Structure 1
């Protein structure tokens, strides 16, 4: 069921209340994914109940390569009447290519060692296809199959009494020339010949269903699909699913026949509800318990530090305000000191004000987009079952939020005294999106050259450009128009509580800790500590192809990140003002924005310590996409820090009376 964000606030509130009531009354209500499908036996079909179960195949990916490939790129069995599933924008951007397969089953009709197709390789024909297959085995490429919009999982023991269910299974495995066992070959002691590849040409599939007894639906519903990949050396006249493994030699010296087979059986299990059929996959993800414990510890620490920062700020600022007001009311008040000395320069326009305004507009657009996307993910509309929905939602929201970007950018630029409104709105529309698109286009050229399924088709690129130029840019111009024409008493008022002196005040010599660069470096440490743990699992989901589903925790960390960025920036801004340094505009943006630098450093550490990526193309792609993520995060956190500091400065200089 798809959920589209509504522009009507009342409708959004009604939807939220209705969702809460539904969740309260029925904990098993299943928001994401497709509508349930009922299955029945072959001779009992109706309009609402079908007997044929279709198996779809998705792209193949690897933890050792950033390049995913379509199923058709490998010489597997093809469907004679190939069907392509409709894909949303997010699936295309992620390189998912879902198509039909020749594996088709009849409900409750078991099959044993059924033949799918035969592939023949000779020394003169299809050598390239066989070599590509061996390269895929060497890089541990994984197949991804789908039944009833549910991944077909491969479950195996990782510890005593604990299973890990992976939504994918390898093409095969290999034994190195030195006898070293690689990847899945460790699971079978028959895989023991040196310098040999073993192809998984057989699968044992178990489909579990809920019969519908005691429920209000017709027929049965599938609740899980598991398989176990195996390797058998069949002959054309004898399908033997209990024989030696299918070997692919390092060098082909004669004809080689590869026969693909499968076995399928059905199991009834009425204890698993259809709404909870993903639970066994999510609960088996490694480190889930460790993640929860670490997240709770992190949240407690961050909340404690945030409380301490807030308490220090309130107590210190309260004492300062009381002291300054007391001195002004006394007859012997002689001289101002501290942050009150710079009241005549505190709102002096910064250097490169247009660039700062452009960054703030883009950061506002990203902030609103992230907030709405995470909120919908918390409600379950963007779960892993709804493939590509997360990216689709984010891209569509970004396009539609051009108006806030243009408004904030124009408003802040006018606050800085800028008059080149055309340059401002053009930079807001094209600078940061242009950098991201140029990086993305370069990455796409590499993907095109490698024949990867992640390469965006030309038509999709044109559609993205049409959304950018046809929707986002006009909306940005509209927001900029209102930003420049808006009266000062509205949002982001231009009037300041104190006047700016004509002659800038000289800034005294600063100590090491009150200089800009050390403060900026220290400012990003605490916000990065908020996202450190979540960042690890997000990177795992992107590069190690693990499912991420705890969006409620992510949303909580998102809120704490906002609070921490705000408090850290305000605290350092206050210290600099007390040191009579009034250059706070850019410093407030860079203080929290420097969190992106730590993110980039951690991404480098993650690449060298956690990943097994090989090849120049994969390395370029990893760091190319990482730079996009770092830029977006820089704009997001920098904007949060800036507006927090902007509010703080206006607040204290409006409370304290100054001459």
Structure 2
């Protein structure tokens, strides 16, 4: 049985349909584009040419999708000239001179551990270091992450990595057919950043024999793949010793050079993303953790569900055998009030409608990701798909909200539709607008252009809002949902009001269970979100965790609602949403702990970005779990009250 689960996780991670390989003949040009400068210390991306790097004669900007723009990706052309299977030991790129402001920008980014992100054949640039440790042979350490250091600080001085040794791993597609050309595919892309002091453009360090010997020597070393979390801090000297670094000073010439090495690889093109996707995590440990969590939750859920089923069956048998309600106690006594509309029925309807909209978006996005349609080769596709799907899911959100609102005897369905259309999207847009203003004040490339804001507003007002109203109109025109029991005209007095707050408190504690079943996967997602060198693409594991989340959220809400009804308290509507929805509180508390222990953020704007987006994520998580809990409890209550006989 475990093998089938493993196959599911593997297939969902590796299938990347819609991405066609590109074959290169020997000597053909391979385009290298620069992306952005990014740091986990500040969460503020910058355009690559924000620093005074060498630019091509004709700078071209690549077309970007909505997700790339929102994440700060800015792909542009570069002056690097790389030709398939042609090694280059030393190529002059250009000489730049920095003024005072440019030097300060460099120093600030080096202090905040900024990394340069490049792209080649849709592959991000990993990091290569040649290292010699105590009592060990020198090795080539390959960190498959996104980006490499732009410089380092040593003995109070700042140095620039002005030489890039570019390593391109290629796979030979030649099949032995004389009629087919000898072509190659790019299956790996690494950059070894080095700092050299060049006396002049005519006297380059990379052209000297010691560097050429170093290249030849490093090609013969054993390659070792290292987890990006174990990356050595900036300032690592590497294997080369006795060299002068390029110091960063005002009005001092910095000569940029590069070298290119092609390495033949046995990795096929279809599997080239594996090192990027799984280098940041132990896949076996990850898999075992998810399986243990999945099995434990299913076992406990089965036990609780079985006990609850037996208890309810006994209650139903007892109620149906003895129809004298005066001698009975328990949840049957509130049958005439169990479907009485809750307090604030419109807000509850809006909450459930918004939850359906978010759940629909999440399910379809996860399905597309598991099928491989959201390939990491297309950066920003995941975020773009999620935003577009959320807009189109508005019809289901509006329909669900109006159906419950009408059942709650609501008459102003247009206000309910307005609330569904603007509650969660409006909260997101306000938070996003405030964050965008802060990012813009930092001159970051993460600031969203005006045209993109207009695009988001068009998706909201042009698609989402009309669809919400359409769904609301369709739902409100439907006949009112019929309930199994007639509602009493006079509410039953509540004799246990003093103990109801205890159940609410227990519900708050029970909200930790839905969060707990997602904790392992959330930790991996947090690493990929806030440590920009790591990738997340294990959507097969995420799918299993979401199944556990649905089961747990439904069960805790049903259990707490049953305990409340046994106390003859019929105010279960809000409790059913509160129990599982309180898991959003635990997610935000975890975000605070993660901020304090895993991140090193010191800037106010960066802290606002982190807590702003984590607040929205916690709200969304709470809305999803509260909707699942509410619907499960609603089905449960309808079922048990439809099985008992009328007095």
| Counterpart selection for 1:627 from 596, 604, 615 | 615
Alignment of 1:140-289 (within 5 A): 140-156=113-129, 164-175=143-154, 194-214=155-175, 218=181, 219-236=183-200, 237-241=202-206, 242=211, 244-248=243-247, 252=249, 255-269=251-265, 271-289=266-284
Q: Which residue of 2 aligns with 1:320?
A: 315
Inter-partner Cα distance in structure 1 for 2:48 and 2:176: 38
Q: Is the contact made by 1:196 and 1:247 (CA closer than 8 Å) also made in structure 2?
A: no
Seen in structure 2, the aligned counterparts of structure 1 residues 364 and 215 have a Cα distance that, compared at 3 Å, is: farther
Inter-partner Cα distance in structure 1 for 2:415 and 2:581: 24
Inter-partner Cα distance in structure 1 for 2:83 and 2:15: 26
Inter-partner Cα distance in structure 1 for 2:439 and 2:273: 32
Structure 1 residues not aligned, in runs of 5+ = 1-22, 43-50, 176-193, 489-493
Q: Is the contact made by 2:561 and 2:633 (CA closer than 8 Å) also made in structure 1?
A: yes
Inter-partner Cα distance in structure 1 for 2:251 and 2:359: 60
* TM score, norm. by length of structure 1: 0.86
Matched, 1:397 2:374: no
Matched, 1:100 2:99: no
- What SS does the aligned partner of 2:203 have? coil
| Counterpart selection for 1:41 from 26, 47, 55 | 26
Q: Is the contact made by 2:12 and 2:372 (CA closer than 8 Å) also made in structure 1?
A: no
Alignment of 1:517-556 (within 5 A): 517-545=504-532, 546-556=534-544
Alignment of 1:444-483 (within 5 A): 444-483=436-475
Seen in structure 2, the aligned counterparts of structure 1 residues 432 and 166 have a Cα distance that, compared at 3 Å, is: closer
- What SS does the aligned partner of 2:637 have? helix
Q: Is the contact made by 2:511 and 2:582 (CA closer than 8 Å) also made in structure 1?
A: yes
Seen in structure 2, the aligned counterparts of structure 1 residues 394 and 283 have a Cα distance that, compared at 3 Å, is: closer
Inter-partner Cα distance in structure 1 for 2:627 and 2:113: 42
Greater relative contact order (CA < 8 Å, ≥ 6 in sequence): 2
Inter-partner Cα distance in structure 1 for 2:548 and 2:608: 33
Inter-partner Cα distance in structure 2 for 1:512 and 1:291: 42
1:282, distance to aligned residue in structure 2 (A): 2.7
1:509, distance to aligned residue in structure 2 (A): 2.8
Q: Which residue of 2 aligns with 1:292?
A: 287
Inter-partner Cα distance in structure 2 for 1:594 and 1:607: 21
Q: Which residue of 2 aligns with 1:443?
A: 435
Q: Is the contact made by 2:496 and 2:569 (CA closer than 8 Å) also made in structure 1?
A: no
Q: Which residue of 2 aligns with 1:507?
A: 494
* TM score, norm. by length of structure 2: 0.88
- What SS does the aligned partner of 1:144 have? strand
Inter-partner Cα distance in structure 1 for 2:146 and 2:176: 28
Matched, 1:71 2:45: no
Alignment of 1:105-124 (within 5 A): 105-121=82-98
- What SS does the aligned partner of 1:143 have? strand
| Counterpart selection for 2:112 from 130, 139, 150 | 139
Q: Which residue of 1 aligns with 2:35?
A: 58
Q: Which residue of 1 aligns with 2:340?
A: 348
1:256, distance to aligned residue in structure 2 (A): 0.9
Seen in structure 2, the aligned counterparts of structure 1 residues 554 and 244 have a Cα distance that, compared at 3 Å, is: same
Seen in structure 2, the aligned counterparts of structure 1 residues 81 and 621 have a Cα distance that, compared at 3 Å, is: same
